C-alpha cells in the first residue's frame, strides 16, 4: 500500500530505489560492500561466527547446575533453535549474495525483517521472543567483530557486464533510511552507492543535512518515524524538493516521479553550460562564487562547477570519528596541502576546527551529557580550551599557506578576549615554525559572524580581522533560540526573520564601509530564493556547496543589483518579509 511521510527538504532532486535500513541494532554494525569474489569467504565468516555462538551456548547449557531455574535452560534452547534455523541463515546469505552486503550488515538487515514480523504477532509471548532474536543476533555480531574489525564502506567494483545475470539485484538503486546519521557516518557514505537519504531526525541546517547536501543526492531529514514505517527493501521515492518520502509507490506514481527525475537531470545538464561564464550581474557587478568543502578531495567538485576558490573548508571533519586520536601537525598539513593543491592556485579558506553540539568528535564522546551543547564548549571555545591542539592546527595551516593562497577563518567568536587569545596563539604558531626553521606563508585572517553578539560588535571585529564571513546557520540558531538540529522546532527556524535580516544586512554594510570583504558561507548563500535579497543588501561574495553554485550563478546573471537595493530595503523594513520574497 502506497503512503507518504513528510520531513524537511534538504537536498534537491528525486531518488527512487530500495530502502536500506541501517543502524537499528544496538550493536555498532559495520556496513560495507564486499567484492563479488569475496561472497564465499563472507558466508564462511558468518558461519564460523554462528558456530562459535552455538558452541558457547551449548557449553553453557551443559554446565547448568541441576538446581538452575528451568527457564534458563529453556531460554538457551530457544536461542540455539534460532541459531540453527535454516530459513534465517538462508535469508542472511541472500543479502550477501545478491547485494554484496558484508556479513554484519546482512545479519542485521534480516534481523530487522524478522523483528517486524515478531512485532506484528498477536500472541504476547511470541512477540516477546523478539528480544531473544536480538540477543542472539548481537552475540553473532560480537563474534564477527572480533574476527574482522575493519570498517570500509566503499562501492563494490563494477562487475564486468557479462557477469551480470538476469534478475541480478546488484544494479538496483539503494536509498539509505536511518534514525540518525552522524556527520562522520555521512562522510563515509560519500563513497557509497546510495542514491538518496532519509533520516528520522535533524533540522534543515543540521550538520547531517549539510553533508547530505554536499553529497548532492536527494535527501529528506526530520521525517520522524520513517525508519519505523519503512521496511527493509521497500521501494521508496525521495522527493528532495518537497521533503516527501513515498513508500511502496504505485506504477502511476513511479512513472510520474521517473519523469520528474529525468527533467531534473536535464536541468542540471543545462546549468553545467554556465560553468565558465563569469559571475557578473546585469549592471556589471562581479560576484565571487566560492565553495564549501568538508574534505580535500571535494576541491575537485568545486573546480568542476567553476567556483573561484574555497570559502569554507570545514576542517573538523578531519578530527571526527578517531576515538580521541586527533590528527597531528603532519597529518593536518598533508590534508590542507591536498586541498590547496587541489584548488590549483585558487584561494582556500580553512576554518579552524568547529566541533561540539551536533558535530561530536565521535559517538562515544557525544556531548549529550551536556545540558546545552549548542551553547557549550564548541568551535573556538573548544580550541582555546586546548591551546596545544589549537597551535598544532594553526601551524599546519600556516605551513599549507606556503604552497598557495590560504585564508584562515575562526568560528564562533564573540568576546574581545577570544580575539586576543586567538591572535596571540597565531603569533606563537609562527614563532614555533621560525624556531624549527619550517617554511610557512602569509594568511588573511577572518572571523565568522555567527553569534548575534559578534554581529553587534562589528567595529571590534573589523579592527582585528582582514575579512568577515557570515555563518547564517548559527546566526539564525542563536538569534532565534532555535536548535538547528531539532526537527521539532524546525518550523521556527526562519532565515527571513527581521532580526536575522537586520544582522546580516548590517554586517555586509559595515564591512563595505570599512573596505573589508564580507562573505556569507551559511546555507543562505546557496539558497537560490535568497540570492536577490543578498545581492540587494550589497553582498559580493557567496560560499556554498558546489552543487548549488550554478543555480545561484544563473540567478546572479539575471539580476541588477541597483534595482535590487530598493527591494532589499523594502524587505528589511517589513514586518512580514516572506510576503515580499516571491515578487
| Residue 63 three-state SS | helix
* Between 223 and 353, CB nearer to ligand PEP: 353
Give least dist CB 210 to ligand PEP, A.
6
* Between 23 and 521, CB nearer to ligand PEP: 521
* Between 79 and 314, CB nearer to ligand PEP: 314
343-382 residues near ligand PEP, rule: CB under 6 A: 354
522, 526, 536, 546: which one contacts ligand PEP (CB under 6 A)? Answer: 522
- Cell numbers for 171, please give them: 544494479
* Between 471 and 546, CB nearer to Mg ion: 471
439-468 residues near ligand PEP, rule: CB under 6 A: 450
Q: Is 474 in the site for ligand PEP (CB under 6 A)?
A: yes
CA pair distance 46, 64, nearest whole angstrom:
27
Characterize the bridge pairing of strands 348-351 and 310-314. parallel
The single residue of 94, 142, 370, 521 carrying the catalytic annotation is 521
Q: Is 507 in the site for ligand PEP (CB under 6 A)?
A: no
The single residue of 207, 370, 420, 491 carrying the catalytic annotation is 207
Residue 523: DSSP 8-state: G
Give least dist CB 50 to ligand PEP, A.
44
Give least dist CB 515 to ligand PEP, A.
24
| Region binding ligand PEP by CB under 6 A among candidate stretches 54-62, 75-83, 235-243, 471-479 | 471-479
Q: Helix, strand, coil shares of the chain as percentages rounded to 5?
A: 50, 15, 35
**If we measure between CA atoms, which residue out of 245, 207, 208 comes closest to residue 225?**
245
* Between 354 and 527, CB nearer to ligand PEP: 354
The CA radius of gyration of the chain, in Å to the nearest whole number, is: 26
Q: Which residues pair with 237 in a beta bridge?
A: 16, 246
Interacting residues toward Mg ion by CB under 5 A: 450, 471, 474
| Residue 175 three-state SS | strand
Could you report how far apart the first and last alpha carbons of the chain are, in Å? 41
310-339 residues near ligand PEP, rule: CB under 6 A: 312, 314
| Residue 127 three-state SS | helix
Task: Name, in order, each residue with C-beta under 8 angstroms of 409's C-beta and a sequence gap of 6 or more.
Answer: 312, 349, 350, 351, 352, 446, 447, 448, 469
CA atoms lying within 13 Å on the CB side of residue 440:
23
Q: Which residues pair with 194 in a beta bridge?
A: 174
230, 394, 521, 556: which one contacts ligand PEP (CB under 6 A)? Answer: 521
CA pair distance 563, 566, nearest whole angstrom:
6
CA pair distance 487, 489, nearest whole angstrom:
5
* Between 93 and 204, CB nearer to ligand PEP: 204
Site string for ligand PEP, 190-209 (x = CB under 6 A): --------------------
- Residue 583's CB is within 10 A of a number of other CB atoms, namely 8
CA pair distance 32, 99, nearest whole angstrom:
11
Give least dist CB 10 to ligand PEP, A.
13
Cα dihedral 86→92→98→101 (10° resolution): -160
Q: Is 472 in the site for ligand PEP (CB under 6 A)?
A: yes
471, 495, 526, 546: which one contacts ligand PEP (CB under 6 A)? Answer: 471
CA pair distance 373, 211, nearest whole angstrom:
20
Binding at 99: pick from Mg ion, ligand PEP, none (beta carbon under 5-8 Å per type): none
Query: What Å distances lie between residue 254 and 7, 148, 468, CA to CA?
Result: 20, 40, 47
SS (H, E, C) 352-415: CCCCECCECCCHHHCHHHCCCHHHCCCHHHHHHHCHHHHHHHHHHHHHHCCCCCEEEEECCCCC
Q: Is 94 a catalytic residue?
A: no
Residue 120: DSSP 8-state: T
Q: Is 521 a catalytic residue?
A: yes
* Between 418 and 474, CB nearer to ligand PEP: 474
Supply φ then ψ for residue 327, to 5 degrees.
-65, 135
Task: Name, in order, each residue with C-beta under 8 angstroms of 555's C-beta and a sequence gap of 6 or more.
Answer: 528, 531, 532
Which residues form the catalytic set?
207, 521
Q: Which residues are near ligand PEP by CB under 6 A? A: 210, 312, 314, 354, 450, 471-474, 521-522
Amino acid at each position: 500500500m502506497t503512503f507518504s511521510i513528510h520531513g524537511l527538504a534538504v537536498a534537491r532532486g528525486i531518488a527512487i530505489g530500495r530502502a536500506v535500513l541501517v543502524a537499528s541494532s544496538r550493536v555498532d554494525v559495520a556496513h560495507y560492500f564486499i567484492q563479488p569474489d569475496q561472497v564465499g569467504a563472507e558466508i564462511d565468516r558468518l558461519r564460523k561466527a554462528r558456530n562459535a555462538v552455538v558452541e558457547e551456548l551449548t557449553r553453557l547449557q551443559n554446565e547448568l547446575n541441576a538446581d538452575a531455574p528451568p527457564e534458563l535452560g529453556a531460554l538457551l534452547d530457544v536461542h540455539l533453535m534460532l541459531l540453527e534455523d535454516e530459513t534465517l541463515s538462508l535469508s542472511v546469505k541472500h543479502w550477501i549474495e545478491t547485494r554484496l552486503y558484508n556479513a554484519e550488515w546482512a545479519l542485521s538487515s534480516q534481523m530487522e525483517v524478522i523483528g517486524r514480523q515478531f512485532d506484528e504477532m498477536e500472541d504476547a509471548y511470541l512477540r516477546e521472543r523478539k528480544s531473544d532474536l536480538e540477543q542472539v543476533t548481537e552475540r553473532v555480531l560480537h563474534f564477527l567483530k572480533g574476527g574482522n574489525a575493519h570498517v570500509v564502506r566503499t562501492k563494490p567494483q563494477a562487475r564486468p557486464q557479462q557477469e551480470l545475470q538476469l534478475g541480478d539485484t546488484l544494479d538496483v538503486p539503494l536509498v539509505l533510511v536511518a534514525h540518525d546519521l552522524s556527520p562522520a557516518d555521512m562522510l563515509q557514505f560519500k563513497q557509497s552507492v546510495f542514491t538518496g537519504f532519509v533520516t528520522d531526525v535533524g533540522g534543515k541546517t543540521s550538520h547531517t543535512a549539510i553533508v547530505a547536501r554536499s553529497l548532492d543526492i536527494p535527501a529528506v531529514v526530520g521525517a520522524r518515524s520513517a525508519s519505523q514505517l519503512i521496511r527493509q527493501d521497500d521501494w521508496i521515492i525521495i522527493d528532495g524538493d518537497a521533503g516527501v518520502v513515498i513508500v511502496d509507490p504505485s506504477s502511476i506514481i513511479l512513472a510520474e516521479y521517473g519523469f520528474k527525475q529525468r527533467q531534473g537531470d536535464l536541468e542540471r545538464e543545462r546549468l553545467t553550460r554556465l560553468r565558465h561564464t563569469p559571475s557578473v550581474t546585469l549592471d556589471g557587478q562581479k560576484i565571487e562564487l566560492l565553495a564549501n568543502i568538508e574534505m580535500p578531495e571535494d576541491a575537485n567538485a568545486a573546480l568542476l562547477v567553476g567556483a573561484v576558490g574555497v570559502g569554507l573548508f570545514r576542517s573538523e571533519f578531519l578530527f571526527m570519528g578517531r576515538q580521541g586520536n586527533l590528527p597531528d601537525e603532519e597529518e593536518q598539513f598533508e590534508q590542507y596541502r591536498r586541498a590547496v593543491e587541489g584548488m590549483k592556485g585558487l584561494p582556500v579558506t580553512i576554518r579552524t576546527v568547529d566541533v561540539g553540539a551536533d558535530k561530536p568528535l565521535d559517538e562515544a564522546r557525544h556531548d549529550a551529557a551536556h545540558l546545552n551543547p549548542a551553547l557549550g564548549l564548541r568551535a573556538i571555545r573548544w580550541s582555546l580550551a586546548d591551546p596545544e591542539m589549537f597551535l598544532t592546527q594553526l601551524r599546519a595551516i600556516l605551513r599549507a599557506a606556503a604552497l598557495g593562497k590560504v585564508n584562515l577563518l575562526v568560528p564562533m567568536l564573540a568576546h574581545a578576549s577570544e580575539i586576543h587569545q586567538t591572535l596571540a596563539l597565531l603569533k606563537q604558531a609562527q614563532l614555533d615554525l621560525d624556531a624549527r626553521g619550517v617554511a610557512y606563508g602569509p594568511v588573511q585572517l577572518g572571523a565568522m559572524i555567527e553569534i548575534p553578539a559578534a554581529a553587534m560588535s562589528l567595529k571590534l571585529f573589523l579592527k582585528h580581522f582582514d575579512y568577515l564571513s557570515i555563518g547564517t546557520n548559527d546566526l539564525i540558531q542563536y538569534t532565534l533560540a532555535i536548535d538547528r538540529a531539532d526537527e521539532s522546532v524546525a518550523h521556527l527556524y526562519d532565515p527571513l526573520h527581521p532580526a536575522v535580516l537586520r544582522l546580516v544586512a548590517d554586517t555586509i554594510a559595515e564591512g563595505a564601509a570599512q573596505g573589508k570583504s564580507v562573505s556569507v558561507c551559511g546555507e543562505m548563500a546557496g539558497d537560490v530564493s535568497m540570492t536577490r535579497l543578498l545581492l540587494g543588501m550589497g553582498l559580493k561574495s557567496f560560499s556554498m556547496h558546489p552543487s548549488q553554485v550554478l543555480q545561484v550563478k544563473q540567478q546572479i546573471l539575471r539580476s541588477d543589483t541597483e534595482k535590487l537595493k530598493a527591494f532589499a530595503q523594502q524587505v528589511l523594513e517589513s514586518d512580514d518579509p516572506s510576503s515580499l520574497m516571491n515578487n
